[in-house]
């Protein structure tokens, strides 16, 4: 790995083992390395560029648009490493692609949740910035994900996500031999009353780091379970992957229109047509 006094982009990254030429400007971030194959199935072509620990990276094109995917493993610590090292090799847009548990009764298994912001109930982002700093999704990424879901005809919801550090205690589930963390009984009800839509484990760290570094990030997850209704099925996993891939193409079009118009940010007065 490059020494601190050298350009960190000059050499292979320590954990991901990628170089600048290995990745596109936009990278999808699933947790599970096995989900990578389900994502690239929607692309025109792809090539595996690196695989080290939980980090598996492929790059290709989606309807002619360059695109990459890097798996992050479970949780915010490893997701933050992925964002750090991908940013070092020139990536400017991140889209978390995953699964989640919904906590609002109207949300069905298989629906998509597009995150607009996140509750930072994970410790990784706390090591970067004060706890009241918001984990906000980039509005361009949110817009592209919404447009993609609309074009694909997938049911979706937008709103606030809660990101936890643990799958069991931190999400109000019983631990070994029925252990319950303090406040577990009230957690889901408090989040539900605050209109939080879903729970997962990476989005808030990804969004926080992207904002700190002036990069774009968003998140789209497929609902696997509804904690309010008790419904659970591993269904619709590919919907988030397809929506994120299409959103990447839409973001590229948005960027081209911005360049032509001479503006820095996408807004409603611009058209993709």
| Model pLDDT for residues 250-270, shown as the tens digit of each residue | 999 999 999 999 999 989 888
**Is residue 9 domain-resident?**
no
Judge contact between 105 and 223, C-beta under 8 A: no
**Is residue 273 domain-resident?**
no
Burial (CB count <10 Å: 0-12, 13-18, 19+), residue 107 = buried
**Is residue 164 domain-resident?**
yes
Q: What's the CA dihedral at 1, 92, 99, 49 to 10 degrees?
A: -50
Q: Across the chain, what does the average pLDDT equal? A: 93
**Is residue 215 domain-resident?**
yes
**Is residue 15 domain-resident?**
no
SS3 24: coil
Is 85 among the catalytic positions? yes
The conformational region for residue 172 under phi > 0 = left, psi -120 to 50 = alpha, else beta, is left
SS3 28: strand
**Is residue 114 domain-resident?**
yes
CATH number at residue 80: 3.40.50.1580
Catalytic residue among 19, 52, 173, 235: 173
pLDDT digits (tens, 9 = 90+) for 65-118: 999 999 999 999 999 999 999 999 999 999 999 999 999 999 999 999 999 999
Burial (CB count <10 Å: 0-12, 13-18, 19+), residue 195 = exposed
Catalytic residue among 15, 19, 51, 52: 15
For residue 199, give its domain range. 20-260
pLDDT digits (tens, 9 = 90+) for 12-40: 999 999 999 999 999 999 999 999 999 99
Strand pairing report for 135-136 and 112-121: antiparallel
Catalytic residue among 85, 122, 200, 242: 85
**Is residue 7 domain-resident?**
no
Is 37 among the catalytic positions? no
DSSP 267: -
Least confident piece of the model among 76-85, 115-124, 225-234: 225-234
Catalytic residue among 49, 56, 88, 227: 227
Structure tokens belonging to residue 262: 């001479």
pTM of model > 0.85: yes
**Is residue 226 domain-resident?**
yes
Is 15 among the catalytic positions? yes
Which of these, 130, 157, 159, 140, lies nearest to 270 by C-alpha position?
Answer: 140
Is 173 among the catalytic positions? yes
Q: How many domains would you assign to the chain?
A: 1
Structure tokens belonging to residue 16: 């991901």
Tally DSSP H helices, then E strands, for the chain.
6, 11
């Amino acid at each position: 790995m490059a020494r601190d006094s050298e350009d960190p982009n000059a050499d292979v990254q320590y954990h991901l083992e990628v170089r600048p030429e290995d990745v596109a400007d936009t990278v999808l971030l699933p947790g599970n390395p096995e989900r990578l194959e389900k994502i690239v199935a929607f692309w025109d072509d792809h090539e595996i560029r690196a695989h080290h620990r939980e980090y598996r990276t492929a790059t290709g094109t989606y309807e002619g648009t360059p695109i990459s995917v890097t798996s992050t493993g479970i949780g915010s610590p490893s997701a933050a490493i992925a964002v750090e090292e991908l940013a070092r090799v020139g990536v400017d847009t991140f889209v978390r692609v995953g699964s989640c548990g919904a906590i609002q009764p109207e949300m069905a298994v298989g629906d998509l949740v597009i995150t607009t912001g996140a509750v930072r109930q994970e410790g990784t982002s706390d090591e970067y910035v004060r706890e009241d700093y918001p984990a906000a999704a980039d509005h361009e990424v949110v817009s592209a994900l919404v447009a993609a879901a609309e074009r694909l005809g997938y049911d979706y919801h937008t709103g606030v996500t809660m990101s936890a550090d643990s799958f069991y205690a931190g999400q109000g589930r019983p631990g070994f031999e029925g252990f319950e963390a303090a406040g577990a009984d009230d957690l889901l009800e408090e989040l539900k009353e605050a209109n939080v839509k879903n729970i997962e484990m990476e989005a808030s760290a990804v969004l926080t780091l992207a904002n700190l570094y002036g990069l774009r990030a968003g998140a789209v997850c497929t609902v696997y379970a509804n904690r309010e209704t008790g419904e659970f099925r591993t269904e619709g996993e590919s919907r988030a992957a397809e929506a994120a891939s299409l959103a990447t193409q839409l973001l590229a079009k948005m960027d081209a229109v911005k360049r032509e118009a001479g503006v820095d940010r996408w807004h409603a007065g611009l058209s993709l047509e």
